[in-house]
Amino acid sequence: LANPAKAIELIRRLLPHRFVNRSLTGRRSAQPGGRMARSSSNPDLVAAGEARTEMGPCMGPELQAVTEKFWRTELVLSKAVAPEGPSAWEVLIRRAVSGTSQGTSDPYADLVAGPQKDKAVALVEELMHELEAWSMELQRHSAEDWNECINVLVQCISSGGGEKSRSSSEFSI
């Protein structure tokens, strides 16, 4: 979520139905019914502008909405974190890992008390609730691919980034 461009291909392969193909046809007008005129251009570009331009898959509206919600939450959270405290990203990770169970450390302990903290906590909880639904969709849409992906992530985390022996099955999506 912090940088969707880095994970877009993985997300697209795990949730292909959450992406749409975009294409542009013909010239685009600045105003309805109006026609844009080129002041100067290479003649080949003018001809190319009339053709249909295919663009790759883009995140669908629901995926765009959750990404925007993450960015808004991270921004508000970064304003609520104490200057010497952890980053907003670290607070989000702590909350995702600890959940809401009793007996775990408070993921919000490093936030400065006040209205900004209350707003940040509310946004984080709302985001976590929405991410829970996305998690279920990921797990159910392609369970085998999801399990293999998680297996690779766990191996990376548990090895501390070092090289780990390969499992008996190849990871492919």
Predicted TM-score of the model (pTM): 0.68
pLDDT, residue 171, reads: 47
More confident residue, 8 or 133: 133
pLDDT, residue 130, reads: 96
Give the E-state strand segments of 121-164 in sequence order. none
Which helix H or strand E contains 24, and what residues bound it?
Answer: strand 19-24
Burial class (CB in 10 A: 0-12, 13-18, 19+), 110: middle
Q: How confident is the model at residue 29 (pLDDT cuts 50, 70, 90)?
A: very low
Asked if 59 contacts 30 with a C-beta cutoff of 8 angstroms, the reply is no
More confident residue, 53 or 83: 83
**Chain segment 39-80, per-residue pLDDT in tens:** 544 444 445 445 555 566 788 999 999 999 999 999 999 999
CA distance 65 to 19: 13
For residue 69, how many C-alpha atoms fall within 13 Å in the half-sphere facing its CB?
Answer: 16
pLDDT, residue 91, reads: 93
Q: How confident is the model at residue 27 (pLDDT cuts 50, 70, 90)?
A: very low
